């Protein structure tokens, strides 16, 4: 598809805003933008790589929106960047070199598992921490979980934020707001390295990439600020609902 009609141009731009907003709040924005690209007639692989590259600016914007919550977390980002980069590259290469049927079947169940884990996170943390007043880091869970989530994120990405919220929340003794900020940074790294692989590979729909990029910039910033404006319990419920909705959409 060499060009988009005016109505389709508006539709892709709005899909970028929606994807950026949802990614800024909880993750799962690909389930807004990816189906729109498919509906406009792009082949599945083209739609997937176009979507990954197009919505990356939204992760940058949402990270900027979490700037106060990110303060002081540079060490955690440095700690997680190697496994995030390795996982993102591995997932992107898997997408380009292997049949997607098996992973497509597994993806909704992985997301449902992440949503259930996130829902049970307060209870699991209390059980794991016991009477300790200073909950410990769990480096093995943090590294292994982040790598696994990053592979999935490089491959497709819908629900990556839900997975990371569950993993980071169990692995690190931090507030939900600060966890959301770190989740946004890690998602930006994973999506960025996958986007770089896809740019090298080619096969992108350039016009759609540009529209998604501009839209996701607006949506990502607004989503991050919205996430900070709601109580932690409401944010937790929203993340869980995004996970369930993402899994249901993939199953259907």
> Phi and psi of 197, rounded to 5°?
-60, -45
What pLDDT shows up at residue 118? 74
**Dist CA 20 CA 13 (whole Å):** 11
**Crossing angle between the packed helical segments 6-25 and 44-65, to the nearest 10 degrees:** 50
**Residues of the chain under the 70 pLDDT cut:** 1-2, 100, 103, 121, 124-136
What pLDDT shows up at residue 248? 84
What pLDDT shows up at residue 77? 92
Longest dimension (CA), the chain: 62
User: What three-state secondary structure class fits 225?
Assistant: helix
Place of tokens 């731009």: 13
What pLDDT shows up at residue 135? 56
Q: Could you say which DSSP state residue 91 is in?
A: H
**Dist CA 210 CA 205 (whole Å):** 9
């Amino acid at each position: 598809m060499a060009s988009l009609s005016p109505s389709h141009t508006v539709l892709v731009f709005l899909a970028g805003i929606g994807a950026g907003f949802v990614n800024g709040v909880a993750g799962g924005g690909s389930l807004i933008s990816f189906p729109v690209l498919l509906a406009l007639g792009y082949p599945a692989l083209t739609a997937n790589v176009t979507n990954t590259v197009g919505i990356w600016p939204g992760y940058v914007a949402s990270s900027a929106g979490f700037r106060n919550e990110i303060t002081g977390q540079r060490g955690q980002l440095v700690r997680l960047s190697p496994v995030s980069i390795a996982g993102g590259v591995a997932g992107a290469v898997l997408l380009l070199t292997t049949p997607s049927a098996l992973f497509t079947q597994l993806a909704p169940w992985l997301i449902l598992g992440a949503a259930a884990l996130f829902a049970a996170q307060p209870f699991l943390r209390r059980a794991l921490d016991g009477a300790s007043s200073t909950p410990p880091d769990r480096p093995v869970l943090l590294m292994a979980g982040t790598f696994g989530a990053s592979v999935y994120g490089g491959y497709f990405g819908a629900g990556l934020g839900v997975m990371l919220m569950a993993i980071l929340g169990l692995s690190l003794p931090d507030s939900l707001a600060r966890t959301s900020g770190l989740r946004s940074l890690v998602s930006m790294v994973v999506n960025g390295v996958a986007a770089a692989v896809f740019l090298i590979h080619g096969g992108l729909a350039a016009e759609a990439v540009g529209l998604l990029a501009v839209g996701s910039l607006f949506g990502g910033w607004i989503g991050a600020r919205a996430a900070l404006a709601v109580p932690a319990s409401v944010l937790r419920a929203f993340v869980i609902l995004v996970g369930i909705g993402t899994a249901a959409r993939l199953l259907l």
